[in-house]
Structure 1
Amino acid sequence: MSAATTTTITEQLSNPERETVKIVNDAPIDEQIEELIRNNNQINITRTRHKKIALQPGIDKSGLAILPESTRKRLEDDDIDIAKGYPEVPERNKIPIFVDQAHAIRDYDVPFVDRGKGADPEKKALFGAAKEVINLTKNVGTEIVGLQLEDLTNQQKDELALLIAERVVVFFRDQKLSPTAQHKLGDYYGNIEVHAQTPQVPGLPGTTVIWNDYQVSQGMALNFSNSNLGNWDSTKYLSVGNQGWHTDLVHERQPTGYTHLHLDAIPEVGGDTIWSSGYGAYDKLSDEFKKFLDGKEAVYVSAHQYLDRDDPFGGPKRIERVHPLVRTHPATGWKFLYVNRGMTKRILGVSPVESDLILNYLFDVYEKNADLQVRFKWTNTKQGYGTSAIWDNRVSQHRNVWDHEGAEPRHGTRVTSLAEKPFFDPESKSQRESLGLYLHQWE
């Protein structure tokens, strides 16, 4: 049946209170479906394919019962009104039903200039003010000691952006950082993404709540046995929570750049996060394989799924966009591999079998090379403070480790800044090539 088909439908839907909803309508079928979904709370539009939960729209009173005290204090100190509940789920009339509605949310170019471009390569303002600068591994991850993110000057913020672009992820422990200040910093680094479905801090759109404990309380079936299945085969074993290797929002017209997660409730042991470098993943490839991949494009898809307006009974669909498979970073000028297992669908210009074989190898390069990765333990050194990680989503994949199994609370807020429209500069160099580091020549 076409979406333009008109018909008359009379149907009764029962809910737990035994009330009924009668629909008599001769509007196009897609309009009838949208009206039915938006006006009936028994039909879920906030369920992702891997969480299998239904979040009720609005501010959730039930979240207060499990809200960690450190989180509550941080929110109240920032004058965030949580009297009615926490977190806030977007209203039903703002959540997309159809693929075209979701696709249209940011389907236009937005000006963007990377704050790291042109910053002092020696980072004298940032490093000079820090007590200590610690590289956690040789290739990925740096910790800055003795600075408060809330107090950084614009020059220091620009140098920090360049450092993140170079080192993939930068960490700050012992932070007194309000959600409002976090949001302001994200706005400085790019165009803040406001997610159409994800729970937010009340009154602060774009400050996403990262809280598996809440999702589990709402019915997400996350446990020791299934928490990593998506890392084996994300098409067969759906990822639960955020334990699968991924890059955020690759389907956007202008995907994510600098992303800032601040944890204000941290397990004593467990709940670490791992990042892997796209610069290093590209440099692991042979020169001949790099030549083959340079200039290729791939199809990238959204994590959330929606209905197809022209085939509403054909099953859920995901947003698709085409981007370069190898990108060039605007601040460093380095090439990087832009793939992730869950949301890179296919390579253009090759057969489906060839695409699957190539992509699965590229996913493995990202995921299985420990010398491209850093695993971070979030723990603070001061009671009542939080810890921040700011990473470059363009040049990385990341995943959470749910080994604490919810025995201790873990809560954070994330602000994601959208960056440039992806591009590939054929004259750009790889990271190791630019730094004059050894590259193996295969016979």
Structure 2
Amino acid sequence: MPIAAPTFPAPLQSTLSLSKLSQFDLTPSIGTEFSKETQISALLSNPVAIRDLSILIAQRGVVFFRDQDLTTEQQKIFIDKLGRESGRPAESSFHIHPLTPTSSELGDEVLKIVPAFGFRDMLEQPSNLPRASGGWHSDITFEPFPSNYAALKLTTIPKVGGDTLWASGYEAYDRLSPALQQFLATLTATHSGEAFKKVKSINIRSPRGHPENAGDDLLAVHPVIRTNPVTGWKSLYVNKAFTKRINELSLDESDHLLSYLFAHINQNHDLQVRFKWKEGSLAVWDNRSTFHTVTNDYGKENREGNRVISIGERPYYDPNSISRREALRDGAGSDLA
């Protein structure tokens, strides 16, 4: 019998229910901020608004809210509803990070963000500090079913510094030549979280938000070009922290190509947005189509917060999907706020 062609979900369409809320884009390709009058806590009982917000986040990559009264429990409810309303698999739930201690007062499903491990020790010898560009990543791509949405609310903010940067995977894809785009679409890459095993406080649980996120390997294989099911847009899906090898290439070829793609992401500052945190700020992003990194420039001050991650679908590439630029040119992205 002939093998049936794979079927992929159709992109979601916004009802534009958020258009009356005050908001503005921070850059042309990534980042939208709502005015402080918009409270996520007030939207939790409105499934249409949550669904439209999931679409906006998927389109703009990352969305910011100021002066939020959202509790940690409401943050969990919010990120869970974003995934549910946008069609995540029924088996998917919250991710349990390997660095979340069993005794965490916030529970397994909340990762407490603290200053980078070992960073303060390296401050005594600045020459040992890694390049800031080395921190770019998409969350937990070492899982077979990685993250769709993530939300971070900082509880302790340094007086100066500690900004977070996000980069657009859509724009990173669009900047590549058509020939390279076509070649990358034929490739897969291995992602690894093995580095976490060097941390003394590691506590690997199973499963971690999906039945297939199990075991201690912390390894997964994903397409180099990924289709976001919410938008139907193509995104570059490799990151410096977790992507270790392009499987179809020799080791030398893989290393050189990944080095180029990582530089393509971190050196093109015009596909990035930089967010300056204030007390009560909340950032919500789509891990399928963005990369992010903290700016470790706040010395020995505290920078702490709570992050919640929802698990999405297994990454896939739909050859019939289009790029963000094609969508905007053809009017398919006309509901962008």
TM class, shorter-length: 0.7 to 0.9
TM-score by length of 1: 0.62
- What SS does structure 1 have at the residue aligned with 2:121? coil
- In structure 2, relative to structure 1, the CA distance for the partners of 1:126 and 1:319 (3 Å cut) is same
Partner of 1:229: 130
Give yes or no for the alignment of 1:258 onto 2:159. no
Displacement of 1:198 in angstroms is 2.1
1:396 aligned residue (284, 287, 290):
290
Distance 1:221 1:249 in 2: 25
- In structure 2, relative to structure 1, the CA distance for the partners of 1:188 and 1:227 (3 Å cut) is farther
CA contact (8 A) 1:141 1:170 kept: yes
Partner of 2:334: none
1:269 aligned residue (155, 160, 181):
160
Distance 1:415 1:304 in 2: 18
Q: Which runs of 4+ in 1 moved over 4 A?
A: none
Partner of 2:90: none
Q: Deviations over 1:152-210 (max 9, x none)?
A: 12111111111110111000010011111111112223321122432475153211101
- In structure 2, relative to structure 1, the CA distance for the partners of 1:180 and 1:291 (3 Å cut) is same
Q: Deviations over 1:48-100 (max 9, x none)?
A: xxxxxxxxxxxxxxxxxxxxxxxxxxxxxxxxxxxxxxxxxxxxxxxxxxxxx
The amino acid that maps onto 1:371 is D
What is the total number of aligned residue pairs between the two structures?
292
1:127 aligned residue (16, 19, 34):
19
Distance 2:129 2:272 in 1: 17
Partner of 1:202: 105
Give yes or no for the alignment of 1:188 onto 2:81. yes
- What SS does structure 2 have at the residue aligned with 1:394? coil
In structure 2, the gaps of 5 or more residues are 1-7, 84-92, 199-215, 331-337
Partner of 2:41: 150
Displacement of 1:406 in angstroms is 2.9
Give yes or no for the alignment of 1:141 onto 2:35. no
Q: Deviations over 1:395-441 (max 9, x none)?
A: 1111111222133x32210000011100000111111122118xxxx
Distance 1:324 1:280 in 2: 17
Distance 1:305 1:204 in 2: 21
- What SS does structure 2 have at the residue aligned with 1:359? helix
CA contact (8 A) 1:227 1:402 kept: no
- In structure 2, relative to structure 1, the CA distance for the partners of 1:258 and 1:160 (3 Å cut) is same
Q: Deviations over 1:311-365 (max 9, x none)?
A: xxxxxx9632111010000011000000111211111221111111111101111
Give yes or no for the alignment of 1:376 onto 2:275. yes
Give yes or no for the alignment of 1:363 onto 2:262. yes
Q: How does 1:237-316 map to 2 (within 5 A)?
A: 244-302=135-193, 303-305=195-197
Larger RCO: 1 or 2 (CA < 8 Å, sep 6+):
2
Distance 1:398 1:138 in 2: 17
Displacement of 1:119 in angstroms is 4.3
2:229 aligned residue (316, 327, 330):
330
Q: Deviations over 1:183-242 (max 9, x none)?
A: 1112223321122432475153211101218x67xx96242826851556x6xxxxxxxx
- In structure 2, relative to structure 1, the CA distance for the partners of 1:189 and 1:227 (3 Å cut) is farther
CA contact (8 A) 2:223 2:317 kept: yes
Q: Deviations over 1:232-267 (max 9, x none)?
A: 6x6xxxxxxxxx111111011111110000012222
> What's the % identity of the aligned pairs?
39
Partner of 1:354: 253
Displacement of 1:269 in angstroms is 2.4
CA contact (8 A) 1:208 1:413 kept: yes
1:421 aligned residue (314, 328, 332):
314
- What SS does structure 2 have at the residue aligned with 1:257? strand
Give yes or no for the alignment of 1:176 onto 2:66. no
The amino acid that maps onto 2:296 is W
Distance 2:29 2:234 in 1: 15
Moved more, 221-230 or 159-168: 221-230
Q: How does 1:48-197 map to 2 (within 5 A)?
A: 118-120=12-14, 123=16, 125-128=17-20, 130=21, 132-145=22-35, 146-152=37-43, 153-190=46-83, 191-197=93-99
Distance 2:182 2:67 in 1: 45
- In structure 2, relative to structure 1, the CA distance for the partners of 1:296 and 1:197 (3 Å cut) is same
1:435 aligned residue (304, 328, 332):
328
- In structure 2, relative to structure 1, the CA distance for the partners of 1:332 and 1:400 (3 Å cut) is same
Distance 1:172 1:324 in 2: 32
In structure 1, the gaps of 5 or more residues are 1-112, 235-243, 307-316, 381-385, 438-443
* Aligned Cα root-mean-square deviation (Å): 2.6
Partner of 1:55: none
The amino acid that maps onto 1:195 is H
Distance 2:30 2:197 in 1: 33
- In structure 2, relative to structure 1, the CA distance for the partners of 1:156 and 1:228 (3 Å cut) is farther
CA contact (8 A) 2:144 2:220 kept: yes
The amino acid that maps onto 2:130 is L
